[in-house]
């Protein structure tokens, strides 16, 4: 009985050791343990120093495999054969494997790479693909050649194409301008975590870059924007306000933008792009002092136009047109330039479609002019005027003077009668004497 219990005890203890070994054995481990002289690290399009974004149809693209010599001895005579799926081919040969031969030596513990040159068929898709690498090498101070095989995955990333522009490239001096900037990605890969910083100081741009001294005299309400992700074939925009001083009129304003983003490989990229604006002068015209006067025996609408800007308004016309039930005839007058701070008068005789109608008339005064870019601009002013027919006004004025005329005639007759009576009396006195 004692021996039986001892045997059972040994059996159960052995089972515990078996279970413990099973938990740590490689068969159930989530990691694959492979021990050798070469360790695979990475495979991507690009060279050893920099990864490249590629898309279907690209030709003669470098494809780099990065490995490490993890053995205890240096290796030499390194060459590789690359097997990729259909749609990928060697740029050097029409058929067969894609070859790379460095012939270099890799010291023990050193990282080394092989670069192949690959053509991508235009019909493949963007995404992940499998590949196989056969690596041939020799140990130093050892005859014979060894080989290792590595299975790996690689990405056809697509290409991101960054563009930036202003929706409206024209600004106006001595006023606050709303600027809307579009950031677009015309490529086939996404731009991630796009961050933009305005370079608005002289020291923020190198001396070889385009001058930004005129930008320093302008006032921005923001200088940094987080755009987020921009998917392929899509656009995002941001806006800011900028005040342009008067002395920058008729100049080109350069706004350098530093753009930072993550490309399709997840690497941080920084580029400097410049948005150019043309600064117009300001034409700030207004209509005032509109009235009706009698000019050359005709009722005439008069007024003045004042330009409170800093450049001339060109080829200016002023138009009188009726509103509502007014039957005043539409008419236009050419007034040439609208010079800054110099009122320009206008006078338009009133004409009618049909019979003249006295009384109130609703009218609109419209001024049309062109700026320095020959863009047409208009301003308008609505008001009510009172029209009085000139014949009636003349008759009314004559009627008012009739009593005075009668009095004058009567006075003249009285003086004439008095003079004659006086002369007659004088003649009679002389005859008597």
The CATH number of the domain covering residues in 38-156: 2.60.40.10
What is the C-alpha to C-alpha distance for residues 58 and 88, in angstroms, rounded to an integer?
Answer: 10
Higher pLDDT, 204 or 129: 129
pLDDT, tens digit (0-9, with 9 covering 90-100), for 377-395: 999 999 999 988 754 444 4
The domains of the chain are located at 38-156, 162-280, 285-390
How many CA atoms lie less than 13 Å away from 389 in the CB half-sphere?
Answer: 9
**Which pLDDT band, with edges at 50, 70 and 90, does 424 fall under?**
low
Q: Is the pLDDT of residue 55 over 70?
A: yes
Mean pLDDT of the region 239-243: 95
Asked if 116 contacts 65 with a C-beta cutoff of 8 angstroms, the reply is yes
Q: Domain 285-390 - what CATH class? A: mainly beta
Write down the pLDDT at residue 72.
79
Residue 177: CB atoms within 10 Å: 18
Q: Could you tell me the end-to-end alpha-carbon distance of the chain, in angstroms, rounded to an integer?
A: 205
Q: Is the pLDDT of residue 218 over 80?
A: yes
Mean pLDDT of the region 245-264: 92
H or E element in which residue 3 lies = helix 2-24
**Which pLDDT band, with edges at 50, 70 and 90, does 297 fall under?**
confident
**Poorest-pLDDT segment among 113-127, 150-164, 192-206, 372-386:** 192-206
Q: Which of 279, 281, 272, 280 is nearest to 210 (CA)?
A: 272
**Which residues are paired to 138 by β-bridges?**
76
Write down the pLDDT at residue 250.
87
What is the C-alpha to C-alpha distance for residues 378 and 368, in angstroms, rounded to an integer?
Answer: 4
Q: What percent of the chain has pLDDT over 90?
A: 57
The reply to whether 162-280 and 285-390 are identical in fold is yes
Write down the pLDDT at residue 2.
54
Write down the pLDDT at residue 354.
87
Mean pLDDT of the region 289-307: 91
Q: In the predicted model, what is the mean pLDDT of the chain?
A: 83
Q: Domain 162-280 - what CATH class? A: mainly beta
SS3 23: helix
What is the C-alpha to C-alpha distance for residues 193 and 226, in angstroms, rounded to an integer?
Answer: 7
What is the C-alpha to C-alpha distance for residues 6 and 430, in angstroms, rounded to an integer?
Answer: 195
Q: Report the DSSP pairing between strands 299-307 and 285-294.
A: antiparallel
Write down the pLDDT at residue 243.
94
Q: What pTM value is reported for the model?
A: 0.70
Q: Is the pLDDT of residue 285 over 70?
A: yes
Write down the pLDDT at residue 428.
57
Q: Is the pLDDT of residue 4 over 60?
A: no
Mean pLDDT of the region 173-188: 94
What is the C-alpha to C-alpha distance for residues 211 and 203, in angstroms, rounded to an integer?
Answer: 11
pLDDT, tens digit (0-9, with 9 covering 90-100), for 328-343: 999 999 999 999 999 9
């Amino acid at each position: 009985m004692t021996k039986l219990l001892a045997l059972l005890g040994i059996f159960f203890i052995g089972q515990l050791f078996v279970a413990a070994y099973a938990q740590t054995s490689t068969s159930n481990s989530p990691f694959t343990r492979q021990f050798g002289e070469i360790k695979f690290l990475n495979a991507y399009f690009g060279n050893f120093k920099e990864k490249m974004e590629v898309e279907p149809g690209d030709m003669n693209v470098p494809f780099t495999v990065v490995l490490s010599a993890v053995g205890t001895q240096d290796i030499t005579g390194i060459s590789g054969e690359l097997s990729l799926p259909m749609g990928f081919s060697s740029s050097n040969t029409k058929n067969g494997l894609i070859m790379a031969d460095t012939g270099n030596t890799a010291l023990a513990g050193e990282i080394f790479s092989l670069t192949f040159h690959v053509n991508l068929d235009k019909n493949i898709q963007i995404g992940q693909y499998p590949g196989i690498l056969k690596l041939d090498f020799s140990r130093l101070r050892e005859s014979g050649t060894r080989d290792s095989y590595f299975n790996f995955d690689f990405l056809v990333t697509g290409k991101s194409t960054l563009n930036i522009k202003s929706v409206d490239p024209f600004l106006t001096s001595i006023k606050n301008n709303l600027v809307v900037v579009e950031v677009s990605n015309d490529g086939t890969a996404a731009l991630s975590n796009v961050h933009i910083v305005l370079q608005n100081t002289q020291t923020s741009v190198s001396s070889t870059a385009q001058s930004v001294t005129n930008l320093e005299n302008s006032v921005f309400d923001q200088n940094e924007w987080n755009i987020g992700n921009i998917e392929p074939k899509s656009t995002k925009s941001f806006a800011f306000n900028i005040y342009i001083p008067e002395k920058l009129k008729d100049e080109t304003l350069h706004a350098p933008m530093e753009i930072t983003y993550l490309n399709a490989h997840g690497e941080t990229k920084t580029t400097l792009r410049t948005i150019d604006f043309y600064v117009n002068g300001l034409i700030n015209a207004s209509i005032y002092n509109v009235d009706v006067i009698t000019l050359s025996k005709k009722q005439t609408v008069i007024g003045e136009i004042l330009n409170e800007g800093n450049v001339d308004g060109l080829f200016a016309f002023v138009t009188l047109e009726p509103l509502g039930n007014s039957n005043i005839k539409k008419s236009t007058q050419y007034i040439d330039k609208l010079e800054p701070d110099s009122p320009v008068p206008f006078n338009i005789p009133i004409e009618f479609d049909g019979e003249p109608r006295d009384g109130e008339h609703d009218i609109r005064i419209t001024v049309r002019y062109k700026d320095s870019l020959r863009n047409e601009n208009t301003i308008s002013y609505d008001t009510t005027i009172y029209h009085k027919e000139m014949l009636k006004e003349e008759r009314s004025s004559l009627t008012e003077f009739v009593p005075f005329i009668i009095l004058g005639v009567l006075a003249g007759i009285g003086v004439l009668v008095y003079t004659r009576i006086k002369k007659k009396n004088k003649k009679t006195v002389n005859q008597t004497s």
